Amino acid sequence: MSAIDVRGLTKSFGRKRVVDNVSLRVEPGEIVGFLGPNGSGKTTTIRIICGLLTPDAGEGTVLGFDVRRQSRRIKREVGYMTQRFSFYEDLTIAENLAFVARLYGLRPVENAVRRTLADLGLTSRRDQLAGTLSGGWKQRLALAACIMHAPRLLLLDEPTAGVDPKARREFWEEIHRLSAGGLTVLVSTHYMDEAERCHRIAYISYGTMLATGTVAEVIRDSGLHTFLVDSDNPVELADFVATLPGVEQVAPFGRTLHVVGRDRAALAASLAPVAARPGIAVRPGETSLEDVFIQFMARTGARPE
């Protein structure tokens, strides 16, 4: 049985359709990255999945419970980490966790808190006020609160926004440890390196699911081809290359341009005269997930935020 198996989810607020016929399947123990620009419907979809919102249309199950009729059962089996830090900043880490333990009816409370502190490496900071924590430690506290009731599904909504690279890496190491123990994870993110850490990804834009699969499958199915153009003056060259037939994206990376398009032959033909210029080298490159992400945004008219 799939951990998440929903079909045709639709949700509107007033005249605006935020989620439009979305289907998603996630298997137990999987980490699935949920990608899309701001306002694409990721958060609304996550709130439907965890039982906080009822879809206007669609059906399916979450952890075996009906997404429309058994939302209360779903809530007790899910951990949901929101974008914003939502704990009491004038309470200590231990006091915040004790509050959450009481909400879930965990007994004895002190044992639940002690175990959670140890599992997430928070024991040495148990008496520190939450408001004095760095972004990475606040994130760890939020994760601890989400999993202390032993959920079977963890939903993470932009969990590492504003967190430094070291804390992000440690967070993902923890997520993979939890997944290896059987926890299913659906995580929305804007970071391409985080998406590549997931077992599979799903891309949504303007409420519509555009692609699902492994990173390799999504890149392959995009039909994009990439060439790398090395130059001493890449910015000036980029303006010219962008006008060439077959070129759909040009992005500078240091002294190298990533030139992307769907017609490989047209790209090669357009770049051949460029390669003949002094001080310029052209070579085939690997299409990245970021290239695909930008292509999806261009196709739907979304703008990066």
Domains of the chain listed by start with CATH number:
4-214 (3.40.50.300), 225-286 (3.30.70.100)
pLDDT reported for residue 83 = 80
pLDDT in tens, 203-222: 998 899 999 999 999 999 99
pLDDT reported for residue 301 = 60
H or E segment to which residue 129 belongs: none
Q: Contact, 117 vs 140, CB < 8 A?
A: no
In the numeric block, the tokens 């739907």 are attached to: 300
Q: What is the pTM of this model?
A: 0.90
Residue type for position 192: M
Interatomic CA distance for residues 190 and 207, integer angstroms: 16
DSSP state of 155: E
pLDDT reported for residue 300 = 66
pLDDT reported for residue 304 = 45
User: Residues in the chain with pLDDT < 50?
Assistant: 303-305
Per-position b or e across 124-137, b if 16+ CB within 10 A of its CB:
ebeeeebeebeebb
